[in-house]
Amino acid sequence: MTVSWSRMVGHDKSLLWGNGDGATGDRGKLRVTLHHNELVDLEQRAPRVRFGQAHVYNNVYRVTSPGRYQYSWGVGVESSIIARNNTFELAEGISPDRILRDFGGTGIDEEGTWSMDGTSASSTPTTRPIRAKCWHRKFRDRQGRTCRLNLPRRHGNGLSVMQVPACGPEPAWAGGCG
């Protein structure tokens, strides 16, 4: 499934992909891509993944309410996320370490994502890479060997992170960056 060229504004539990932690019937079935979206004031789950794989690239996240914001990327049971070239515009008081939350997931592979924090009129914005941890949970198979679950394969034409905010959520057929 793909969610692209959309604008989502002001939701709490926004993009939950996968059922409950015990829904093992979902195992291996979820493959979701989130690209070229504008996500404004989504409090949490943008996305939160369980039992699946997600490719999250070229999205603009705008967070203006520090008191309501919880996290954006939630890596849940048996899930993994590849995140590339996303932009976070974070209100003053929200640090980039709040972007990612580990719910016992398999891994996240993040590269090229930047945050701009201090968006109030009284402060100067600071732009920097988020440097999310790249981690993979290891497990032992039945023979006692150490294995690593595979992260999802990358696909799609990504923009550089500097192009993403200028692109906006305008659809490709309307002259967007597609």
CB atoms within 10 A of CB 83: 24
Residues 127 and 114 sit within 8 Å (Cβ to Cβ): yes
Taking the C-alpha atoms of residue 133 and residue 109, their distance in angstroms, rounded to an integer, is 8
* Catalytic one of 45, 48, 62, 84: 45
Burial environment of residue 89 by CB neighbours within 10 A (0 to 12, 13 to 18, 19 or more): buried
Burial environment of residue 3 by CB neighbours within 10 A (0 to 12, 13 to 18, 19 or more): middle
User: Taking Cα atoms as reference points, which of 13, 69, 75, 18 lies closest to residue 45?
Assistant: 13
Taking the C-alpha atoms of residue 136 and residue 153, their distance in angstroms, rounded to an integer, is 15
- The residues, ordered by sequence, that sit 6+ positions from 128 with a Cβ below 8 Å of its Cβ are 96, 114, 115
45 is catalytic: yes
Taking the C-alpha atoms of residue 82 and residue 88, their distance in angstroms, rounded to an integer, is 16
Residues annotated as part of the active site: 45
